[in-house]
Amino acid sequence: MVALLRLSPPRSPSYLLPSLLALALFTLLFLYKVDDFVTSTKTMAGHNLEPTPWHIFPAKSFDDETRQSRAYKIIQCSYLSCPYFNRSIIERPRFQTNKPAAQCPEFFSHIHRDLAPWVKSGITENQVMEAKNFAAFRIVIFQGRLYLDPYYACFQSRMMVTIWGFIQLLRKYPGMVPDVDLMFDCMDKPILNRTERQSNPVPLFRYCTTREHFDIPFPDWSFWGWSEINIKPWSEEFPDIKKGSQAKRWAAKQPRAFWKGNPDVVSPVRLELLQCNDSRKWGAQIMRQDWVQEAREGFEASKLSNQCTYRYKIYAEGFAWSVSLKYILSCGAMTLIISPQYEDFFSRGLIPKKNYWPVSPVDLCKSIKSAVDWGNSHPAEAQAIAKAGQDFMESLSMDKIYDYMFHLITEYSKLQMFKPVPPPSALEVCPDSVLCFADEKQRLFLEKSSTSPSLEPPCNLMSADDSVRS
């Protein structure tokens, strides 16, 4: 008997291998597109940005992140952190006071001087775009929201913290900050010389200026904290310094001048200051700051509140102006300021021989000794100058700093001859997106410097005409 043959059903063609290949190709293409997208996204933390070409510093490294984690952070922080779904209208605050606003401090009148070059002609969009050649980033405030367009990396976390300051201003005075389009450089030295650019001044914001420059001074990042060297936000740092200054009575403080800092910043005056390190001969103690060693020791030896045991403290400019001025004045010592070339937004309110003692750079060591000798023979007068300097800094609260920012931006916006609109390359920035990019220590400092809607209106800014008459 012949066995029956069992025929298997015909096999259908297999699509598994082509499907896997297609999926792999799609995944590779997707990853390529995501990587391309991520590498084209510039961030306030410095991703995909080169250092400013006019002030070179080491490029930022993100080697502590994997490629995947870095891509996730850039996408999450740049595109997913801000509540785009919440488009409610930002309402102006209802202040809980019927009292008229207090008068702004007199130095606020310098806002009018800083903006004077554009009062007659106004500020055109072309002038703003020309300022881009000197800017690290562009800020557009539109309908109460902030948009950022970064061009170059800033040193350390300057850009991030400066943006945080702008965001806090919008939180403090919601719905009150006008639409504005401005360029900002986060490096130290002003570069728009009035003589060279007299025919076409361009507006550029930065942390300091001189009388020979058009650069517009703005409160520096360290008011919101300088996490890299462990300096807390101003609202905490000043009280700590003042407390440290009260640890010893004036008579018990060391009767000499003290300076501690970094002389290796292309600063002739700081290099010359090193020659004055002789307590007996010049009445001065000059110390070189070793930032590498300080970082290893957690900055304990450079704690500002521990440096107020001297009757006199010296302020010497570095590469340009230095953020140290506010901390030195806060110490309750008679501040010896060596003929400054640069000025920040508040230093123009300081009065020589009332808030500080001016020191000539000519025969520097002799000038310091002369100031120390005068102070030691006139202790009451020296102590009064010291207190006046500290009182000035105490009056510079964060409320006053936000008021200065508010009035500067408001007066600047009045000069714009165009309607500010966020460019396509700019991304919205909000508190969550800034905190998303911050590391653990930066986040701690930022959160400590967070503000809330004000219960009182900004101070009343003197008009340009009144400031000229005064």
Q: What is the pLDDT of residues 256-276, one digit of tens each?
A: 999 999 998 889 999 999 999
Model pLDDT, residue 59: 85
Q: What is the pLDDT of residues 305-319, one digit of tens each?
A: 999 999 999 999 999
Determine the Cα–Cα distance for residues 65 and 74; give it in Å rounded to an integer.
11
Q: With 80 as the cut, is the pLDDT of residue 25 above it?
A: no
User: How is residue 449 annotated by DSSP?
Assistant: T
Determine the Cα–Cα distance for residues 144 and 423; give it in Å rounded to an integer.
16
Nearest to 105 by CA among 331, 275, 345, 294: 345
The residue written with tokens 């055109």 in the block is 124
Model pLDDT, residue 218: 98
What percent of the chain lies above the pLDDT cut of 90?
Answer: 77
Q: What is the pLDDT of residues 125-184, one digit of tens each?
A: 999 999 999 999 999 999 999 999 999 999 999 999 999 999 999 999 999 999 999 999
Could you tell me if residue 380 is left (phi over 0), alpha (psi between -120 and 50 degrees) or otherwise beta? alpha
Instruction: Decide if 82 contacts 163 (C-beta within 8 A).
Output: no
Determine the Cα–Cα distance for residues 452 and 224; give it in Å rounded to an integer.
14
Instruction: Decide if 254 contacts 262 (C-beta within 8 A).
Output: no
Sheet holding 205-206, edge to edge: 216-217, 205-206, 180-184, 137-142, 145-150, 427-429
Instruction: Decide if 329 contacts 307 (C-beta within 8 A).
Output: no
Model pLDDT, residue 30: 47
| Average pLDDT, integer, range 421-435 | 96
User: How is residue 356 annotated by DSSP?
Assistant: B
Nearest to 244 by CA among 327, 158, 146, 157: 327
Which range among 92-96, 179-183, 299-303 shows the weakest confidence by mean pLDDT?
299-303
Helix (H) / strand (E) element for 384: namely helix 379-395
Rounded to two decimals, what is the model's pTM? 0.91
Looking at 253-349, list the stretches that DSSP marks H as alpha helix, in order from N- to C-terminal side: 268-273, 279-282, 291-296, 324-329
| Average pLDDT, integer, range 340-356 | 97
| Average pLDDT, integer, range 1-7 | 50
Could you tell me the pLDDT band of residue 219, with boundaries at 50, 70 and 90?
very high
Which range among 17-31, 85-99, 222-236, 379-393 shows the weakest confidence by mean pLDDT?
17-31
Nearest to 408 by CA among 75, 72, 135, 173: 173
Which range among 8-17, 115-124, 138-147, 233-242 shows the weakest confidence by mean pLDDT?
8-17
Could you tell me the pLDDT band of residue 31, with boundaries at 50, 70 and 90?
very low
Instruction: Decide if 325 contacts 304 (C-beta within 8 A).
Output: no
Determine the Cα–Cα distance for residues 52 and 46; give it in Å rounded to an integer.
11
| Average pLDDT, integer, range 265-292 | 92
Determine the Cα–Cα distance for residues 151 and 115; give it in Å rounded to an integer.
24
Q: Which amino acid is at 262?
A: N
Give me the chain's average pLDDT, please. 90
Task: Output 376 or 295, whichever has higher pLDDT.
Answer: 376
Determine the Cα–Cα distance for residues 284 and 468; give it in Å rounded to an integer.
41
The per-residue DSSP string of 426-448 comes to -EEE-HHHHHHHS-HHHHHHHHH
Could you tell me the pLDDT band of residue 32, with boundaries at 50, 70 and 90?
very low
Q: Which amino acid is at 80?
A: L
Model pLDDT, residue 29: 46
Give counts: helices (H), strands (E), the chain.
16, 11
Determine the Cα–Cα distance for residues 347 and 55; give it in Å rounded to an integer.
24
Model pLDDT, residue 98: 76
Q: With 80 as the cut, is the pLDDT of residue 19 above it?
A: no
The residue written with tokens 């702004």 in the block is 104
Q: What is the CA radius of gyration of the chain?
A: 28
- Give me the count of residues in the chain: 470
The residue written with tokens 């060693």 in the block is 293
Model pLDDT, residue 93: 79
Determine the Cα–Cα distance for residues 112 and 114; give it in Å rounded to an integer.
5
Burial of 27 (0-12, 13-18, 19+ CB in 10 A): exposed
Q: With 80 as the cut, is the pLDDT of residue 4 above it?
A: no
| Average pLDDT, integer, range 228-244 | 96
User: Coil, helix or strand for 203?
Assistant: coil
Residue 415 token pair: 């000069």
Residue 319 to residues 161, 256, 265, 323, 367: CA-CA distances in angstroms?
21, 26, 5, 11, 22
User: Coil, helix or strand for 213?
Assistant: strand
Determine the Cα–Cα distance for residues 458 and 401; give it in Å rounded to an integer.
10
Model pLDDT, residue 198: 84
User: How is residue 458 annotated by DSSP?
Assistant: P
Instruction: Decide if 284 contacts 368 (C-beta within 8 A).
Output: yes
Determine the Cα–Cα distance for residues 383 and 386; give it in Å rounded to an integer.
5
Instruction: Decide if 124 contacts 418 (C-beta within 8 A).
Output: yes
Q: With 60 as the cut, is the pLDDT of residue 86 above it?
A: no
Could you tell me the pLDDT band of residue 1, with boundaries at 50, 70 and 90?
very low
Could you tell me the pLDDT band of residue 38, with boundaries at 50, 70 and 90?
confident
